[in-house]
Amino acid sequence: MATLEPMLQEFHNEAAVTRRVLERVPADQLGWKPHPKSVSLGQLAQHIATLPGGIAKIVQLDTFDLPAQAFTFPEPQHTAEVHEAFEQSVRDAEAYLMTVTEEAAAAPWRLAKGNKVLLEMPRSAALRMLMFSHWFHHRGQLSVYLRILDVALPSIYGPSADESPFA
């Protein structure tokens, strides 16, 4: 059994929810932004799609050094790119969560920028914060984008105004 079995179970549940939300992204609105300072719908969807696998890769390092240049959100041309990236990301994160040892999960992980350590915590806590909380935050943003575009929202943790798992 994997050390992070409860986290893996939660990951499976949240991946299913995220898949439902990403399936609602309209292909003809990928460039839409709710505000000039915002990323586009497509950029946000792509970030959400790739986040779990990307985090699984960086937490395998003892220290992740932030690049000097700010992160840029890629702009997908088609929703198929988002869905393909999501499925690969889920496979990558799942593979890591299934194989990480108890020792590795408890080991310290650091986020640094050059010689300055910005965060230090057990690897399992970094997974919780970066893979899950960060993912949920952006998924919430995406649901707001979709609502503004008048796209029917799926149930996330209960009924939405458009769908009820209890009906």
pLDDT for the residue numbered 166: 82
pLDDT for the residue numbered 1: 39
β-strand 108-113 against 116-122: which pairing, if any? Answer: antiparallel
Q: Please, what is the Cα angle at 119 between 113 and 122, to 5 degrees?
A: 130
Whether the CB-CB separation of 124 and 115 falls below 8 Å is answered with: no
Identify the structural domains of the chain with CATH numbers, from first to last: 5-148 (1.20.120.450)
Kindly report whether the global pTM for this prediction surpasses the value 0.95. no
What is the full DSSP assignment across 48-110?
A: HHHHHHHHHHHTTSSEEEPPSSPP-----SSHHHHHHHHHHHHHHHHHHHHH--HHHHHSEEE
The model's pLDDT over 7-56, given as tens digits with 9 standing for 90+, comes to: 999 999 999 999 999 999 999 999 999 999 999 999 999 999 999 999 99
